Structure 1
Amino acid sequence: MLALQIVESVPRYLLAKALGRVQPAVYWNGWGLLQLRDIPEPRLPNGEWVRIGTRLSGICGSDIGLITLHTSPTTSPLVSFPFTLGHEIVGEVTELGAAVEGFQIGQRVVVNPLLGCVARGFRDLCVECARGMPNRCLRFREGTIAPGIMIGFCRDTGGGWSPTFVAHRSQLVPVPDALSDEEAVLAEPFGVALHAVLRNRPSDDETVLVVGAGIIGLLTVAALRAIGCRARILVTARYPFQAEAAARLGADTVLRSRPGPALYRELARLTGARVYRARFGRWLVQGGVDRVFDCVGSSRSVQDALAVTRAGGRVVLVGLASDPGGVDWTPIWLREVEIRGSMAYADDVLDGVRDSSIAHAVRLMAERRVDLGWLVTHRFALTEYRKALETVTAKGSSGVIKAVFAFVG
């Protein structure tokens, strides 16, 4: 079968790193680490696993970061090469292991891609998995399968950028008939946003800033409103179509100001803060918003998030896959700003129910507390991957919000 894989190759890495900035096509034209390859289907590791036929698989920002070599190498011990990309997946069960019950051939499922202790065959869970935090699992390199934080980063499981892959029975979330494939494929990124919001829920009297109106930023706005949060939500958006989407999902104000001083002045006008020019091109904001969800992860966005958060406020870094540098961390000590990370999804409490945030995402969509399917704006066949990646990396001209690889009509 054909699969889009990341391979381990120092020469390819160096070539793409050197040429990619001036010729981005190098990343996906066969010279970089991304390769379209004919590979065998992955086997079921044991009877607790199932085979899934991919219906739709999303193109995630973390996938783009890997392909374009912007991801921090710190996480490299937690992958195993070659791995098939694709962790935002809706599919259907095509093969059941002997120990799998409660699922049927042909059933549609969303996959929670985390490969924590349970998926790796451990009965004595690590301390993080025992707490319901498999996103922090201490055994991503151990157990019955090769290293990998998730499906889509592990050579033994395959991933959604291929017609079929394997998943542990514990990773499956049934898809209600009422949900379209376009809605279901968003359960994973919506789960990312829900986890960040539920672990850092603002009070209704707060002013919240969501930095970035890409898919995670938009889903963070959707998550805030879906759980009933009535906080004032401000969103930064680069393009008009993103601004329209943010407003549709419940943002109170969408800011089109350029990052840096122009944004600081606009936020000062909205919050009553004061902006001062400091020495050597630096800026100081006194006052600001109560809480920031940074959904971009660039050096500029982290800098802006810290700068505009009020004293004692909180900055949440939502699933960042990049490696920001050159950030002035002064606001953390000067104004005692708290900074927290949010990684993927976990067991979170919503409406008095503890469940994985991906399961909560499916339930919220099924209950029509949020409408998200329209965010899938582009579909591509796997063989159109070069066109797909060109589209996703040119948002301003393409108008893409979420692009997917489609294996069904």
Structure 2
Amino acid sequence: MKTLTYYPSIPRFLAARALGRRYPTAALPLRLVKRPEPAPPAGWVRARVRLAGVCGSDLALLLGKNSPRLSPFFSFPAVLGHEILAEVEGQRVAVNPLLACAERGLAPCPACARGEEGLCENVAEGSLAPGMLGYNADLPGGWGGWIVARPQRLYPIPDGVPDERAVLAEPLAVALRGLDRAFGGRDRYRFPASTLIIGAGTIGLLTLALLRALGHDGRLDVVARHPRQAALARSLGASHVYPDTAAALTDLGARRYRPILGAPVYRGGYAAVVEAAGSASSLDQTAWAAAEGGRVLLLGAAGEVRHDFSPHWFSELDWIGSYTYDAAAFGRAVDLLGQLPGPEALVSPPFALENWRDALDAARARRFVKVVFRPRA
């Protein structure tokens, strides 16, 4: 089968880290290579990939933005792609890409024993190489024709949900897990009167759609840098959409102050802020956009950033980080796919693996919120 495989290269990593988005797509450490179709281990099944997404964390890896401190918990070379819609014997399934204790042939660690597989202590231990599907040297991710998984990691897609919406199950689970942690979870959500989402990529926009679907009826504002993102935010239920955080805070009525050095700071901001951009600038904006005693939710994966922590203690903020999901959140996210109004508008027309340069250029240029591949088995 054809696969898009990432081969790590320290010189290319350093070059991409230095040049950022100016680094040429053609020079990225990806190769279109043929591999044997994977054979499922005993008790596992093989699934044909229908669609696979390009995640911001994939771009961060390719462009040298992720933290080297996390390198022990992933393994390469690897077939990338952890946002996977697949098919098993005609049944469409969303794939939970976690490879925790059960997959690694180990007794449950404390996190897995309480159902928190996303916090598994053994992601670099056991019978498999470190990392989940898409970041694992032993098992292919979704940027290839086939994957293998335990049946418990496969979630049937509800009838009537189009493929372009179903492929969003994994990032939707990331958003749902974060909202559970920040606002009470399941059927007992306690949403604040005002919330700001900074970042209108896939995670930010799905968080917006989820908040409305779960009952947030207060002021729900979004910072969106690009016109397409802004239009999608309005269609998904944003109260107001702003080009930057300063405009949002000014409209809210927060008080602005000028320090002796650095950007303006604020008092009287939002009761809650969701940070879904993962950059140094967005993290700084988030810290000052939250009202005193407010709550901040850091969603998804950020790069390696430096940050001024003074507003954390100065405003006595509650900070909650949320990176992945557990099995329960993933299942609930799949069930919610049928209730969300049109998130498939985020998704690009599918790219063939052979056109990976065009696909990644489209992702880097933000011509679409979510770029997807359609591998051929």
For normalisation by structure 2, the TM-score amounts to 0.93
- 1:388 and 2:368 equivalent? no
CA distance in 1: counterparts of 2:251 and 2:15, whole angstroms: 47
2:371 alignment partner, SS class:
strand
Contact 2:78–2:137 under 8 Å retained in 1: yes
**2:196: which partner in 1?**
209
1:225 alignment partner, SS class:
helix
Structure 1 residues not aligned, in runs of 5+: 94-104, 258-262, 348-355
**2:372: which partner in 1?**
404
**1:350: which partner in 2?**
none
**2:104: which partner in 1?**
120
CA distance in 1: counterparts of 2:323 and 2:20, whole angstroms: 28
Q: Would the alpha carbon gap of residues 338 and 204 (structure 1) be closer, same or farther in structure 2, given more than 3 Å must change?
A: closer
- Aligned counterparts, 1:23-102, within 5 A: 23-25=22-24, 28-29=25-26, 31-44=27-40, 46-93=41-88
Contact 2:45–2:151 under 8 Å retained in 1: yes
Question: Displacement, 1:204?
Answer: 4.3
Q: Would the alpha carbon gap of residues 250 and 33 (structure 1) be closer, same or farther in structure 2, given more than 3 Å must change?
A: same
Contact 2:14–2:64 under 8 Å retained in 1: no
For normalisation by structure 1, the TM-score amounts to 0.86
- 1:130 and 2:113 equivalent? yes
CA distance in 1: counterparts of 2:10 and 2:376, whole angstroms: 36
Question: Displacement, 1:203?
Answer: 3.2
1:316 alignment partner, SS class:
strand
After the TM superposition, which of the residue ranges 273-282 and 232-241 deviates more from structure 2? 273-282
**2:186: which partner in 1?**
none
After the TM superposition, which of the residue ranges 59-68 and 170-179 deviates more from structure 2? 170-179
Residue type of the alignment partner of 2:8: E
Question: In the TM superposition, what whole-angstrom CA distance separates every residue of 1:140-165 from its partner, at most 9, and x where no partner exists?
Answer: 012222111x2101112101001111
Q: Would the alpha carbon gap of residues 22 and 276 (structure 1) be closer, same or farther in structure 2, given more than 3 Å must change?
A: closer
1:200 alignment partner, SS class:
helix
* Identity across the alignment (%): 41
Question: Displacement, 1:49?
Answer: 1.1
Q: Would the alpha carbon gap of residues 129 and 178 (structure 1) be closer, same or farther in structure 2, given more than 3 Å must change?
A: same
Question: Displacement, 1:113?
Answer: 0.7
Question: Displacement, 1:125?
Answer: 1.0
**2:323: which partner in 1?**
343
**2:240: which partner in 1?**
253
CA distance in 2: counterparts of 1:47 and 1:284, whole angstroms: 57
- 1:297 and 2:266 equivalent? no
**1:107: which partner in 2?**
91
Contact 1:265–1:275 under 8 Å retained in 2: no
Question: In the TM superposition, what whole-angstrom CA distance separates every residue of 1:365-408 from its partner, at most 9, and x where no partner exists?
Answer: 23x3443222213320010000001111012xx3x121100136
Higher relative contact order (CA 8 A, sep 6+): 2
Question: In the TM superposition, what whole-angstrom CA distance separates every residue of 1:73-127 from its partner, at most 9, and x where no partner exists?
Answer: 111111111111001111112xxxxxxxxxxx232111011111122223x3111
Q: Would the alpha carbon gap of residues 66 and 204 (structure 1) be closer, same or farther in structure 2, given more than 3 Å must change?
A: closer
Contact 2:95–2:154 under 8 Å retained in 1: yes
- 1:365 and 2:337 equivalent? yes
Residue type of the alignment partner of 2:121: L
**1:2: which partner in 2?**
2
**1:353: which partner in 2?**
none
Contact 1:42–1:156 under 8 Å retained in 2: no
Aligned length: 372
1:76 alignment partner, SS class:
helix
Residue type of the alignment partner of 2:360: L
Question: In the TM superposition, what whole-angstrom CA distance separates every residue of 1:277-332 from its partner, at most 9, and x where no partner exists?
Answer: 0112343311110111100010100000001111111111101231122x221111
CA distance in 2: counterparts of 1:83 and 1:321, whole angstroms: 21
Q: Which residue, 219, 223, 240 being the options, matches 1:236?
A: 223
After the TM superposition, which of the residue ranges 334-343 and 293-302 deviates more from structure 2? 334-343
**1:375: which partner in 2?**
346
- Aligned counterparts, 1:314-333, within 5 A: 314-325=295-306, 327-333=307-313
Structure 2 residues not aligned, in runs of 5+: 184-188
CA distance in 2: counterparts of 1:378 and 1:320, whole angstroms: 25
Residue type of the alignment partner of 1:172: L
**1:352: which partner in 2?**
none
1:402 alignment partner, SS class:
coil
Residue type of the alignment partner of 1:249: L
1:377 alignment partner, SS class:
coil
Question: Displacement, 1:129?
Answer: 1.1
Contact 1:268–1:288 under 8 Å retained in 2: no
